Amino acid sequence: MSESILEKVESIDQAVKGKADNTVLLQLEKRMQCLEDKLQANNVLMQKLEKDETEQSTLNRKVEEVVVMLTDKRDEWKDSVANEIVMDKIQDRLKEEEVEREEQEKRRNSVIVFGMNESCATEAEVRVADDVEKFQDIMHELEVRHESDITKVVRLGKKAESADEKPRPLKVSFSSEEAKLDVLKKAKNLRDKKEGGLDKVFIYPDLTPKQREARKKLVAELKSRQSNGESGLIIVGSKIVKRRAA
């Protein structure tokens, strides 16, 4: 652009020297001024473009910084959320274990009796007294000396509408865990008590739903192992063990 202007200046200078006509000189001066205005305008435009380019570069840099920051924050937030989820699961698990311990404590001194005949009396008090008396007779047959340790008996489930229906399970609570353990220890001897149908009566620990599910799996494992030829196996607590030799 500047070289073109210089050429025009030289051309004007030549014209001035060749022609001294004032009219031509004025026209040349106007053209010269017009060219200078255009040059100035071009300079202003170039400066603006350079400024805009600088601002755009700055904006791009700031955008990149924000993207990097958000990426870091995203990872941080993900870790935070993950930690919160883990903590929530731990808290839920601890709460479940606490509830389970409380349930086990409530059942610590109780047993569940299956197959014991149920009274047909209409009065609840009479039925309860009959259940207590019948279970005391069972304890006597088992030679368990804790008849007086019975604190509560209750039938589980809806009362049968007829005497022909299967008797409901009976929950028996004792004043001590020792009495409960003594009953459970000797309960297996009921299988030999044919008189009075006591061989059809079964006494088990009062288990929580979670414990019942675990025992169900143990029983299934025990049957599977027995079907595969293993013998002398019994369930003790939460394990399957070999029965001790007599």
Give residue-wise pLDDT tens across range 143-178.
998 878 999 999 999 887 776 788 999 999 999 999
Taking 70 as the pLDDT cut, the residues of the chain under it are 1-60, 62-63, 66-67, 70, 73-74, 77-78, 81, 86, 163, 245-246
pLDDT confidence of residue 111: 96
Average pLDDT score, the chain: 79
pLDDT confidence of residue 5: 47
Buried b (16+ CB within 10 A) or exposed e, 204-232: ebbbbeebeeebeebeeeeeeeeeeeeee
pLDDT confidence of residue 20: 47
Distant-in-sequence contacts of 113-117, Cβ < 8 A, 24+ apart? 113/138, 113/169, 113/170, 113/171, 113/172, 113/201, 113/202, 113/203, 114/169, 114/201, 114/202, 114/203, 114/204, 115/167, 115/197, 115/200, 115/201, 115/202, 116/167, 116/170, 116/201, 117/167, 117/197
Residues, the chain, total? Answer: 246
* Cβ atoms 177, 109 nearer than 8 A: yes
pLDDT confidence of residue 2: 44
pLDDT confidence of residue 147: 78
Cα–Cα distances in angstroms (integers) from residue 6 to residues 9, 32, 179, in the given order: 5, 10, 122
pLDDT confidence of residue 6: 47
pLDDT confidence of residue 60: 65
The continuous run of DSSP H or E covering 72 comes out as helix 22-106
